[in-house]
Structure 1
């Protein structure tokens, strides 16, 4: 399972990556902003999921979602952010986000959201 993680906080990136690795995700490609994430997305094929923060420098998460959807990609995208206002959630969904996780969150919440957007591997 290969995930692209766009998050400007290095600490939060590590927390999320560790959480993903403790589940069934074996390859996490990290990017410190949306522009770097888009570059990774464009040069690497085969992401099973994109996780993105909303508020990042250079290109925010919503702009990243729109850029990915403009390519025609149907890859699941989950927004992980502090932006919990209903209008913001609806804006993200209209842009093409498949699910939304509000910070702070715990491992069980991350797992539940992943199970909603990704097929679980068979053991």
Structure 2
């Protein structure tokens, strides 16, 4: 089964993302900040990362830079999921190695569309319906 690391300091956001992604047949690993997420990635790289920007300890941008430096760290598809919607944040995220960008609040259709765009789910699959 494919895995998705959900990184957000909000337990509510993690719970919502978990529900959506489990319906898309992902096994979920959760982390409440970038430092804990990086430790999880050192143990086992996920197939996907749904990543918040603003978090204590280590923010999403710093986490992404560290992830991409790990052996195999270029493999996980990273989708930023944040309230930061200005072009500077979006371009910084994509330049740092993010594959896509989702604005909060999000729903199943938005997550499915972005995961389809980066090749994590197939068009027409039950998860994208």
TM-score over 0.5 (shorter chain): yes
The answer for the alignment partner of 1:56 in structure 2 is 55
Within a 5 Å distance, the mapping from 1:4-15 to structure 2 comes to: 4-15=5-16
- CA deviations on 1:34-61 (whole Å, 9 max, x unpaired) are 000000000124x111111000000000
* Structure 1 unpaired stretches of 5+: none
Structure 1 residue 117: Cα displacement: 1.4
Within a 5 Å distance, the mapping from 1:2-81 to structure 2 comes to: 2-25=3-26, 27-45=27-45, 47-72=46-71, 73-74=73-74, 75-81=76-82
In 1, the alpha carbon distance for the partners of 2:121 and 2:82 equals 24
Give the direction of change, closer, same or farther, for the CA distance of 1:111–1:64 in structure 2 (3 Å limit): same
In 1, the alpha carbon distance for the partners of 2:82 and 2:93 equals 11
Could you list the structure 1 runs, at least 4 aligned residues long, displaced by more than 4 angstroms after superposition: none
TM-score by length of 2: 0.88
In 1, the alpha carbon distance for the partners of 2:120 and 2:24 equals 13
* Structure 2 unpaired stretches of 5+: none
- CA deviations on 1:84-117 (whole Å, 9 max, x unpaired) are 0011100001111000000012211111001111
In 2, the alpha carbon distance for the partners of 1:119 and 1:55 equals 25
